[in-house]
Every structure is written in C-alpha cells, then in structure tokens.
C-alpha cells in the first residue's frame, strides 16, 4: 500500500457504545418495584389461579367440577371489600373431568304444561316400546322441580339413548339416565385440582352468587389500604413515568439538548453496500463525471500535480427514477473513503437552530475522517429560496441553509470533504447554493436513450431467469420515456406474470405484457360492459387507428396494437410505439397527431351519428398540442416565431406567487385563441373526411375488434387495405385463479364418541 493511498488514512472503526443508560434502568427499576409491591399486597405470591367468568363457574359448580365437600383443604371463599363493589370467588377445580357414576331414573308422567315444556326442552319423546324395563334399582324422581334442577345441572344423559316416555299399562313414566355427583366421602388428590378465581360485581351479580353457593360458604372482607391505594394510583404513576421517559428520549436523555442537535448522518458500512458502477447503466456521462471524484480520492496527486483542486460539491439533477440515489450508492461502493448519507428532511425540525447545529456537527464529524464523502438526498427540502413565501419564509430551514452555505465555503477551510446532493427540483434551490465554490458542478441525470434502456434492462435481468430466446432490444426501443425505476418495474412485472403462468423462465411475451401493463395499466377483464358501449368503444379506437394509418405520422409513430380490453381508466387503448427516440417535433407531425387524436370522436359521429364523453382526453391532448404550436414553437403564420407566456411547469409558490406569466395584450390573446381553434377545427375536419371515405372499413375493423378484442397494427393495416385477415389472431384468456386447498375434516365416529371423549359436566 502506497503512502498516498487514501485507505491508509481511514480511521479505525470505533467500537460500539457500551455505556449503560442509567436513567432508563432506574426508571424500569421503579416501575418493577411498584408492580412487585402491588402484586404482593394483591396476593400474587400465592399459586397462580385460573381466571374464570361467573357463568363458567356456575356451570362447573353445578356439574360437580368444583370441589364442594372438602372445605377444610379446598375451601370456597368469597372475598369482598368495603370500599369497592368488586368481589372475588376463590375455589378449586378438577383439572380433568372426573369419572362420574351413572344411574337410571324414572318418574310418573303427568299431563301438565310444566312437565311437557321440560320434555320438549330436553328432547324427551314418547316411545313405541310397551315392555316395562327393570326399574328395581332405578332412582325415582318425584317432582317436576327435581327434573328441572337435574336438567339445568347438565346431568341428564342424552347419548347414546335419550330419556323417553313409556306408555305402560298402569301409567306413563319417563325413563332415562343421569350422572351422580361426587360423593362427600370421595378423597381429592391435590395434584388433580387447580385454584380458580372469579371476579364479579356484588351489585349486579351478588344475588346469583348467593343463591348458587348458599350459606355454608366463607365470606371474607379484605380492607387492605395499600391494595386500594396502589390500585388507584398505579395508572397515574405509570403515565407520569412514561411521559418523563418519552420526553427524555425525545431530547436525547442526559444532556438532551446536545444529543437532540447531533447530526443524524449515517456512516455507510462498506461491507453492506455491494452496489458499484457495474450496477449503474444508461447514464454514461454522469458516471464519467462522478468517476473523476472517486479517482481524485484514490490518487489525489494525479490532479494536484497539474494544479487541480478537489471539487467541494456535486449536485445530481434529473427526473424521479433516473438513478441519482443509485449513482450515489455506486460512488460509496467504489470510493475507499468514509461515506456519510443523510436526507434533507433530517435537518428540519420544529425548533429553530436545531438543523443548523446538526449541519455543523455533521461537517465537524466528517472533517475528523477526511477525506470523506457526504451524500444529501432530496436537498430541496432544506435548500429552497430564502426569504420567499407567505409570511416571509421558514426560519428553521433558512438557518439550516445558512449553516450549510458557510460550512461548504466560508471563512474556515473545508478541505477533503465532498458533498454530493440529489434533487429533481433544481429550480427551487437558493442561488447561493448553486454557485461555484459550493456545488462546483451539476451532473445531469437524464432519461436513458434506447441503448441506455437496453443496458438497464440487462442489469435488472440478472436477477430473473430469462428464456434463451429473449431479446431485450425490442423492449428497449418500445419503452421510450421510461426511467430506470420503470424499467426495473417492467422486469419485475414480467417475472410475476411468468410465475402466474407457472412458467420456468421469463419469455418475450411476458416482457411485452409487462411493458404494456406499466405504460397503460393492467387489463380489467372483470369490468362488465354492455354491447352498445363495447361497440362504441371499438368504433372510437378504430377511428384513432385509421386516422393514424392514413397520415404521415404512421412512419415515425407506427401503430402497435388496438384493444377494447379496459386498461386503467380507459375502456380501450390505441397503442403506438416509435422505432427510435425522437428529440424534435415537426409541424406536419404535430398536425397529424391532432388528426389522430380527434379520430375517435369523429368515428363516433360518422358511424353512430352521435358523440360521447369518452373523447375528453383526446380533446385535451389536441388542444395542448395546438397551444404549444402557437405559443411555444412559433408555428402560427399570424403570430409568427414569437414565444408567448404559457409556462405550465410546476409552480414554486414561494417564488412565482407574485409573478405573472402573461406577457401579451388582450388583442394578442384573442388571436392566440383564434389560431388554436383554427388548428384544431381544420384537423378535426381532416379526420372526418378520412373516416367518411373509409366508413365501410371502419365498421369492418370494429366488428373484428369486437370479435377478437385485440388487433395488432399489421392486422389493422391488412383489414384496411384488403378487408380480410390472412392470419386471425388467437384470443388468449387469462389463467384461472387457482382454488384454495380445502382442508379435509376428520370423520367423526359417532358410535364411539361417548366412550372416547370425556363425560360432559
């Protein structure tokens, strides 16, 4: 390693901070102590009890699952308090259902409403059997009230044979089986029971508890003042402690003001960043410019021997999705120096001066590790014009910007710290930030051309499995205006489409479908459209196609496909794909474009004799093109090559609020309106003439479009020229949605159910 190798000057990786947060530890200890005291006074040191609801406890008590006969070892207690209406039942419950004994019972059947209601309730019906069973060992139920009580306790057995009414010679009787409760002489093993706890309200549920337990239960009053105090004050104490904790965390704990104003820039770990310049494609010029910075950091003497100095700042400007942040990550991957990354929004806070303090701290930390790089993403969040806007601007943001300006080029020398920033709104940045000495160069990251798009597709295609016959050149030519992020989305959507089709690799058709989905939206085949509206849509789209094919615009903007399958907000789409990127606009092509845009509305008028509101987007496009021709491109013979104020770009309220974009008189405005109307009207009439002359072919192509739903550009041209299709298209339907696997339910053995399952309480 040479002496001038920047890697030699890298600081050692600082060990992770290991000092404990004593404030947090003390706070947690206080909360734990309060909870411990509350639990101790609440009886939490006792064995954990199972919490039950009152209705569950009633069912278990009546069915014998609650230990009732051993009040000495397993008591049932009701704990109340004079200061509260809440009360608690403590008891013991069998862990497993004990084996109850069964017995046969019988009782005379009398024709009374109460007994008939009980029979209907428990499914007791008359039996055709006339033979009297052996009832010598059976229990005799004397009254209807006893039968009702046994039924409410769940002791009447309905399986395998429910109780029946036998019509004997002397008198009808009810015969069935019931469970006997545990006898008082049965011994209870402590391992077989568990403590239970039931919380109830004495005011609402007290009478039900009294009637259930009777008078032989121990009632105990608990008037612990500590328990009441903690129960009432614990929520307030916890809220206060949590409030203190969050306030300390917001301000950084001890020395909070100092920590709150510390820089939030993160030092990028070289081991976690695997992005290099090999992963950046389609922006060759931008890569060359930023590569000089990397090379300067690696070998500064190469430039210093010629008197060159390292640039202090690089501003990457371009539309969203063109790869500005990706390029910064590639610089971090290639540069062998510390790389700090931060967002412009991390400087802006509600307190004035915090952002400026963070800027100063960030540069102070970067100077310790110089030479190094600082990347500020979305710098327009902090670098906007100062002193503009309603109310005089934003004090906190302007103070932060002032600190950034001074740190980049002020009285104090700032050597070997390079600032790289990215934005897509360079027009809103403060002029002082853009001057040489701060951001010495601006790297324009444009939308990629056809070759660049092919390179980007190849980079993203590394992550997916492509079929051997896939050619990315047609996809690159057909994605004019796509950014790098959109191209990555195309490749990803193609992989998803191939997966839905259960294919082993991504094919060319998958890429085509993905491109159409990203550009025009997904097909909405589930949308229900009437036959009338479908015919109108077909006429509309074929009108666009014929007007395109009958003008010179078809040479530079060929017809790709016509479909009446809804995509996005449109009921149908006429797709054009240029063979190459176009960087200039010509008057003849613009006029033909207006003809093509008006073709849908004119087709409705020629065939249907009526017009619909589906052409509102076409009218908007045609009007916008005509306005540009008159006011921007100077293509009007009356007005000449003069630019008139029609700046429809994004308005920066802080700067453009008091400015006017109109720089012409009322008379000129009237002429502009007349010229725009003339251009649109003349080309509307051209479209009417074209479609009137080709009315029969228009109807024919529309009928074929309804039949096949989608026609390619070559098929439309063939129908327009010959009226026939040599190779009709194959209508492909989307793959069916796979059914969710059905869970197989296990078969129930009804015959053995009573023997295998535990007895019901």
Q: Which residues are catalytic?
A: 541
With H, G, I as helix, E, B as strand and everything else as coil, classify residue 502. Answer: coil
Beta strands (DSSP E) in 203-270 are 218-221, 266-267
* DSSP one-letter string for 136-155: TTPEEP--HHHHHHHHHTT-
DSSP string across 88-117: EEEEEEESS----EEEEEEEE----HHHHH
Distance CA 310, CA 418 (A): 8
Distance CA 719, CA 575 (A): 17
DSSP 8-class letter at 277: G
Residue 620 neighbours by CB under 8 Å, 6+ apart: none
Backbone phi, then psi, for 537, in 5-degree steps? -65, -40
Residue 179's beta-bridge partner residues? 102
CA distance 472 to 282: 14
Alpha-carbon torsion (209, 210, 214, 216), positive or negative: positive
Extended beta strands in 137-225, E state: 139-140, 164-166, 173-180, 193-201, 218-221
Print burial letters for 63-97: b (CB count within 10 Å at least 16), e (below 16). Answer: bbbbbbeeeeebebebbbbeeeeebbbbbbbbeee
Q: Judging by DSSP bridges, how do beta strands 164-166 and 266-267 pair with one another?
A: unpaired
- CA torsion sign, 57 to 60 to 63 to 66? negative
Q: Which two tokens stand for residue 362?
A: 């960030």
Cα 579 to Cα 21, 477, 517, distances in angstroms: 65, 6, 19
The total of other beta-carbon atoms located within 10 Å of residue 672's CB is: 19
């Amino acid at each position: 390693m040479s002496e001038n190798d920047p890697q030699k000057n890298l600081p050692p990786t600082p060990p992770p901070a290991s000092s404990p947060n004593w404030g947090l530890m003390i706070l947690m200890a206080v909360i734990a102590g309060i909870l411990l005291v509350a639990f101790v006074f609440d009886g939490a040191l006792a064995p954990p009890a199972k919490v039950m609801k009152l209705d569950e406890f009633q069912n278990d008590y009546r069915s014998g699952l609650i230990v009732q006969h051993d009040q000495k070892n397993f008591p049932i207690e009701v704990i109340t308090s004079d200061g509260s209406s809440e009360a608690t039942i403590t008891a013991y419950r069998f862990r497993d259902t004990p084996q109850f004994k069964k017995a046969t019972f019988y009782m005379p059947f009398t024709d009374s409403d109460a007994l008939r209601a009980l029979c209907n309730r428990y499914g007791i019906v008359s039996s055709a059997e006339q033979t009297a069973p052996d009832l010598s060992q059976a229990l005799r139920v004397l009254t209807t009230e006893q039968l009702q009580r046994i039924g409410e306790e769940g002791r009447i057995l309905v399986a395998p044979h429910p109780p029946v009414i036998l019509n004997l010679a002397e008198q009808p009787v009810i015969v069935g089986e019931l469970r006997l409760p545990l006898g008082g002489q049965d011994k209870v093993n402590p391992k077989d029971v568990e403590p239970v706890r039931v919380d109830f309200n004495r005011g609402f549920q007290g009478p039900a508890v009294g009637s259930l337990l009777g008078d032989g239960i121990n009632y105990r009053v608990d008037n612990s003042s500590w328990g009441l105090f903690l129960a009432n004050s614990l929520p307030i104490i916890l809220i206060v402690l949590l409030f203190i904790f969050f306030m300390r965390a917001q301000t950084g704990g001890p020395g909070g003001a100092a920590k709150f104003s510390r820089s939030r820039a993160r030092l990028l770990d070289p081991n976690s960043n695997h992005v290099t310049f090999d992963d950046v494609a389609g922006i060759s010029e931008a890569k060359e410019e930023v590569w000089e910075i990397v090379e300067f950091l690696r070998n500064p003497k190469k430039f210093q021997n010629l008197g060159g100095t390292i640039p202090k700042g690089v501003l990457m400007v371009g539309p969203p999705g063109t790869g500005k942040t990706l390029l910064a990550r590639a610089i971090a991957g290639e540069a062998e120096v510390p790389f700090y990354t931060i967002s412009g929004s991390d400087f802006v806070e509600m307190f004035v001066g915090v952002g400026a303090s963070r800027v100063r701290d960030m540069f102070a930390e970067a100077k310790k590790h110089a030479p190094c790089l600082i990347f500020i993403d979305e710098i327009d969040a902090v670098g906007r014009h100062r002193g503009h806007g309603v109310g005089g601007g934003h004090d906190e943001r302007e103070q932060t910007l002032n600190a950034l300006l001074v740190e980049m080029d002020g009285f104090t020398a700032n050597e070997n710290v390079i600032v790289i920033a990215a934005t897509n709104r360079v027009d809103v940045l403060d002029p002082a930030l853009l001057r040489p000495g701060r951001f010495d160069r601006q790297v324009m990251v444009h939308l990629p051309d056809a070759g660049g798009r092919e390179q980007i597709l190849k980079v993203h295609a590394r992550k997916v499995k492509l079929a051997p016959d896939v050619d990315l050149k047609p996809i690159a030519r057909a994605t004019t205006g796509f950014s790098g992020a959109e191209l990555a989305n195309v490749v990803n959507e193609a992989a998803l489409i191939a997966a839905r089709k259960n294919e082993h690799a991504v094919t060319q058709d998958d890429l085509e479908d993905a491109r159409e989905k990203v550009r025009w939206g997904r097909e909405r085949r589930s949308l229900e459209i009437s036959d009338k509206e479908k015919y109108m849509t077909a006429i509309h789209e074929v009108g666009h196609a014929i007007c395109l094919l009958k003008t010179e615009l078809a040479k530079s903007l060929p017809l790709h496909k016509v479909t009446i399958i809804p995509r996005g907000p449109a009921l149908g789409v006429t797709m054009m794909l240029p063979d190459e990127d176009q960087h200039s606009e010509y008057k003849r092509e613009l006029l033909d474009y207006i003809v093509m845009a008006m073709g849908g509305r004119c087709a409705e008028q020629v065939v249907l004799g009526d017009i619909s509101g589906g052409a509102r987007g076409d009218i908007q496009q045609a009007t916008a093109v005509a306005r540009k021709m008159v006011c921007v491109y100077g293509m009007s013979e009356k007005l000449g090559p003069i630019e008139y104020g029609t700046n429809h770009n994004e308005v920066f309220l802080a700067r453009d609020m008091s400015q006017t974009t109109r720089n012409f008189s009322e008379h000129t405005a009237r002429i502009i309106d007349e010229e725009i109307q003339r251009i649109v009207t003349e080309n509307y009439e051209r479209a009417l003439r074209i479609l009137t002359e080709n009315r029969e072919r228009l109807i024919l192509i529309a009928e074929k479009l309804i039949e096949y739903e989608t026609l390619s550009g070559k098929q439309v041209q063939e129908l327009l020229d010959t009226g026939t299709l040599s190779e009709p298209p194959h209508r492909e339907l989307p793959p069916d949605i796979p059914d969710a696997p059905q869970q197989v339910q296990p078969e129930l053995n009804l015959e053995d159910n009573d023997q295998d399952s535990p007895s019901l309480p």
